[in-house]
Amino acid sequence: MPWLQRSVAACVAAPLQKAAPESPSIGHAQLPELISRETVRALEAELDNGASIAALRRFNDLLANLPAGSWEAALRPVMCELAYNLESFNPAFTAVLLRVQQTIGVSDYVRRDTALKSLIQPLAGEYGMHNNEAQALTHRELFSLFYADLLREPLEEALAANPRPAAAHRFFAQMMRDLNTACADAMQQACYAMGYNLAIEYLADYEKTWMLDSFRALDARVLAPAGRPLTEWVFLEVHAEGEAEHAAIGHDAVVAFVPAAEEVDR
Ligand SMILES: [Fe+2]
């Protein structure tokens, strides 16, 4: 995923499209010009030609076409990896927030606050919190219900047997290394982390939409005919619907905070 190797990336600096509110303490003239929404979209679109999209497509084709006689044995370890992998994005989102918070005294007070006001929302959503709504089930609770419905056993047993599946653990460790230590400078690290966050949300939109499609296909071809129809669709549906909104929230955060000058190759 070459785009992740960059802070926010490599296009020419674009004109300011949407200014963040001005800080009461720093005049607008002193604030750096911000990255534009168009530039962010163009950088994201580079991911369409990257290895991640191809890998997600391949995974979902395999998932949808699991053989009727061996789907359960093949899927069980995958679901265990998924349980860890999907939860591991929560500390990644938290790290992005922390990177931005740690620019205190360096970034502009209002820009920092505006960005964080957006970034907190997808993270809070993982725990069932949405503005003006009662707290719903957390995404971990929803995954647990989905897992138990699919494999007819509690997720807790699988987690107890293999609490740290190898592939998902390796991926998590690499993600945290990137988010915590890619840059020496606090502001650059925060901008890098916000770009990383955009890539996660952008790819998650494909991932979750395709995963819902794959399970629908598997259900129709294999699970339902075998008398094991999926009944707990909420986890898949919530994510298939929600990721595009998360990507838009990520855009709001970036265009409120990231200076155009941070668009550098890394
Ligand atoms: Fe989630």
Cα separation, 152 vs 138, in Å, equals 21
Residue 176, Cβ density class (10 Å: 0-12 exposed, 13-18 middle, ≥19 buried): middle
State the pLDDT at residue 220.
98
Mean pLDDT along residues 38-66: 95
Q: Measure 139 CA to ligand 1 centroid, in angstroms.
A: 5
Q: Measure 85 CA to ligand 1 centroid, in angstroms.
A: 11
Q: Measure 126 CA to ligand 1 centroid, in angstroms.
A: 5
- Cβ(232)–Cβ(149) under 8 Å? yes
State the pLDDT at residue 265.
52
Q: Measure 223 CA to ligand 1 centroid, in angstroms.
A: 24
- Cβ(114)–Cβ(194) under 8 Å? no
Structure confidence by residue, pLDDT tens digits, 195-211: 999 999 999 999 999 99
Q: Measure 208 CA to ligand 1 centroid, in angstroms.
A: 10
- Residue keyed to tokens 């790290």: 95
State the pLDDT at residue 233.
97
Q: Measure 120 CA to ligand 1 centroid, in angstroms.
A: 13
What is the domain count for the chain? 1
State the pLDDT at residue 139.
96
User: Which domain range does residue 190 map to?
Assistant: 2-262
Q: Measure 89 CA to ligand 1 centroid, in angstroms.
A: 8
Cα separation, 260 vs 28, in Å, equals 15
